[in-house]
Amino acid sequence: MTNNQTTCEGVPVVAQEPTTREHRLAEMFVALADTLVTGFDVVGLFDDLTSACVELLDVTAAGLMLADPTGRLRVMASSSERSRLLELLEIQNNEGPCLDCYRDGQPVVVGDLTAADERWPTFSAAAAGVGFGSVYALPMRLREETIGALNLFHRQPAALTGRGIRLGQALADVATIGILQQRIVQRGNDLADQLQTALNSRLIIEQAKGVLAEREQVDMSAAFELVRRYARQTGGKLSKVAAAVVSGELTSTDIKSAGAGQRRPAEDI
């Protein structure tokens, strides 16, 4: 419903309804705010964040890295298999814009990857090989503490505007606050244990993707979308749904026909 207002000249003004993009952005910030309470699904949040970046910023792919207690970055979420493998390559070769972003705590904007051959030869060649033309690495930082990086990839050079970069940074900032707040809430638990739990959840999700990809003869990205859609439609945690797929509790038929009347994994009911 629109709201009618009147200017001082008596001309009626109709307030515009929020766009779909604005609705999605508001939903993402609400989801990030939910991290400030206990019991949120951290792995699901990471995946929602990378997916939202692709949707809202119109980038080709997005990924999220967090540092473990030794300072080593770990890939926690990726919107595509291409970006996930590229981020793993960065870590393995200790080279790339995402690592530099984390180390320096500053954004690293690479509008044209062909100009970065000397700085990151292995990364640049691999990124070009999978079709990326530019990359934007945004620090997950609060004051002097940097906990990771949000990484945005685009097939075209110089594709992301300054406004898009600022919005991406805002999403990274809110996510950072939520993650750090959760660590304070769970201060009694060892940080290494918390990160390991998230990594274990990620491993189960990768296994579930492999199971569904084999059963349905689809690629890994399509398999992940099936798992994520079921989790969203049933209200289950992403990691729990993935575990149910791996164990056989959820069949391919269950996953594909998610909706009213479909059962959930036992621990999420």
Any idea of the CA torsion for 193, 195, 196, 199, to the nearest 10 degrees?
160
d(CA 56, CA 31): 15
- List per-residue pLDDT tens for the chain, 269 residues long: 444 444 444 544 444 444 576 776 677 766 666 655 555 667 777 888 898 899 889 899 999 999 988 889 999 989 998 999 999 999 999 999 999 999 999 999 999 999 999 999 999 999 999 999 999 999 999 888 899 999 999 999 988 899 999 999 998 998 888 778 776 665 545 555 666 677 777 788 888 888 888 888 888 888 888 888 888 788 778 888 888 888 888 887 888 776 434 443 433 32
- The rounded radius of gyration (Å) of the Cα atoms in the chain is 20
Beta partners for residue 151, in sequence order = 63, 137
End-to-end CA distance of the chain: 36
**Ordered structural domains, the chain, with CATH:** 20-188 (3.30.450.40), 199-268 (1.10.10)
- Written as one string, the DSSP assignment of 199-247 is HHHHHHHHHHHHHHHHHHT--HHHHHHHHHHHHHHHT--HHHHHHHHHH
State the Cα–Cα distance between residues 73 and 148, nearest whole angstrom. Answer: 7
